[in-house]
Structure 1
Amino acid sequence: MAIFTFTILTMVGCSNNPLTSENGNGNGNGNGNGGGSGSETAGIKLNVITSEETDDPSANLSISEAKALLSKIEVENSSGSREINMNSLVVNFNLSGDVKQVIEKSIPEGIYTKIKFQLHKPEDFETVSDPEFKTGTSGNQRFSVIIKGSYNGSAFVYKSRKSVNIVLNFHQPVDIRNNMKNITLLLQKNLWFISNGITLNPNDEDNSDIIDDNIKRSFAKAFKDDDKNGRPDDN
């Protein structure tokens, strides 16, 4: 099981707020999307944490590295969507179990009900900071997810060639006011290489469609998690 943790931070009346960016991605400008007056700005710190469990010891499948290209990250309330990061962002899943901050952005205060993002296959004209996601301009040389490991003693590098849009409702609405909030996105990586109880060979191209569907399904839940224990808070 892998867990993404989002720390949502509200800063009050600070003109030099380091969370406020000027690039138009997730600016807390009080234009109504978050329901605030503009005098208070909320910010999101996106962190990643993964468990250290072994996926399938009996099949000798282990994962040594996993990363994805995320884009169009947004949170949503009754007024609409608030951009967190629209450009492509390389997310390396820390397999050691340590928390790793990925991005920090500002948003208006408000009550948010869902998060949306895309597992992003780069465009043929797009520049990506990690060259492994784009080895050429053709469709089979651009990737959204890269997973490395071994299966029955043979090394594998699985690369997904699909862009996938994911929408997750929060377990309960998240009220971002003058406080700190944590949102956890639950990623069940044990689903990636299994079908009907059978472990899939990542090196077999015939398994690609199933594995890609499994990756999408593995983004299972999103919920408030102020104690950061990987389970939904009671309130």
Structure 2
Amino acid sequence: MMDRRSLTRAAALGLVALASAACSDSSGPDGAAEARVTLSLAVPVASGGTAQAAPGPAGVFSQTDGQNTLEITRVAMVVREVELERMFEGDCMNSGPGDDDGCEEFEVGPFLLELPLDDGFEAVFSIDVPEGTYDEVEFDIHKPSDDTADDLAFLNQHPDFTDVSIRVEGTYNGEPFVFLQDTNDEQERALQPPLVVGPDTGPVNVTLDIDISTWFRRSDGTLIDPMTANKNGENENLVENNIRNSIDAFEDDDRDGDRD
């Protein structure tokens, strides 16, 4: 039976709160009980709009509008300051490790997220989160440069991401392409209803859904040549907005890609 994931192509980041009895027995520095929260990646099979998407060979996302064919073999994103914000607190201040700003931080970064292009979840990292209510996920899509020690350390490992925050590789109508974006963009996504972490909540999951099927697609569903969306290209702003609008966050306890 086909579910919503067969109708929309997505790349998802899952925030999985494993509130088991063992986790609830742990406590933070102030004695508050904590639960383990794991950050995961997932890419469900999907299609959407006039441009139809379908699973291709392993690690390939394929999409066509009837006249043009897009195949994506790599989607990589530089991310930093991944945080959960506690309810009734202000915005996360990106002040570094710790939770003094009312946020629980997964990772400072920058770090590279390679979005999996086949179905399934992949754990990235985890933290112990104090019991409570969290109503927002925040993270930065980040363009690393050579002006900070953290960025320099990252670029030593990933030199092809100098001044690049997103890299997409593949073919368009059989011709190879590399799409690069250099945006610095803070992402804030409300959790509605809020995420409750406690000893009696059971397993809790939040999916941060990134619908890559919309990135290189116009509003009428026709495909965009990714090369025309590179810097100063005619479709640069359109694709940048598509990427920004492709991100959603929602509770997804059964991890099926649907809002609970």
Deviations 1:65-106 (A, max 9, x none): 111111111111223322222221211111111211111122
For residue 63 of structure 2, what is the amino acid of its counterpart? D
For residue 201 of structure 1, what is the amino acid of its counterpart? D
How large is the Cα RMSD of the aligned pairs? Answer: 1.8
Normalising by structure 1, we get a TM-score of: 0.81
Distance 1:71 1:84 in 2: 9
Quick one: structure 1 residues 131 and 100, their matched pair in 2 at CA, closer, same or farther if it must change by over 3 Å? Answer: farther
Q: Which runs of 5+ in 1 are unaligned?
A: 16-27, 31-37, 135-141
Distance 1:229 1:51 in 2: 9
Please report how far the alpha carbon of residue 156 of structure 1 lies from its aligned counterpart in structure 2 after TM superposition.
Answer: 0.9
For residue 254 of structure 2, what is the amino acid of its counterpart? D
Distance 2:215 2:29 in 1: 39
Contact 1:171 1:232 in 2 (8 A): no
SS in 1 for 2:178: strand
Distance 1:232 1:100 in 2: 19
Equivalence map 1:185-196=2 (5 Å): 185-196=208-219
Normalising by structure 2, we get a TM-score of: 0.74
SS in 2 for 1:195: coil
Please report how far the alpha carbon of residue 42 of structure 1 lies from its aligned counterpart in structure 2 after TM superposition.
Answer: 2.2
Match of 1:95 in 2: 117
Please report how far the alpha carbon of residue 56 of structure 1 lies from its aligned counterpart in structure 2 after TM superposition.
Answer: 2.8
Match of 1:170 in 2: 191
Give the ranges of 4+ consecutive aligned residues of structure 1 lying more than 6 Å apart after TM superposition. Answer: none
Match of 2:256 in 1: 229
Distance 1:184 1:107 in 2: 17
Identity over aligned residues, as a percent? 25
Q: Which runs of 5+ in 2 are unaligned?
A: 1-9, 47-52, 54-61, 90-101
Q: How many residues align?
A: 206
Deviations 1:180-201 (A, max 9, x none): 3111111111110112323211
SS in 2 for 1:170: strand
Deviations 1:4-43 (A, max 9, x none): 211112312347xxxxxxxxxxxx444xxxxxxx341122
> Is residue 2:34 matched to residue 1:41?
yes
> Is residue 2:211 matched to residue 1:211?
no
SS in 1 for 2:119: coil
Contact 1:71 1:88 in 2 (8 A): yes
For residue 173 of structure 2, what is the amino acid of its counterpart? N
For residue 227 of structure 2, what is the amino acid of its counterpart? N
Contact 1:116 1:165 in 2 (8 A): yes
Match of 2:159 in 1: 131
For residue 255 of structure 2, what is the amino acid of its counterpart? K
Contact 2:141 2:165 in 1 (8 A): yes
Contact 1:29 1:108 in 2 (8 A): no
Match of 1:73 in 2: 82
Please report how far the alpha carbon of residue 213 of structure 1 lies from its aligned counterpart in structure 2 after TM superposition.
Answer: 1.7
For residue 124 of structure 2, what is the amino acid of its counterpart? V
Distance 1:133 1:105 in 2: 27
Distance 2:225 2:170 in 1: 11
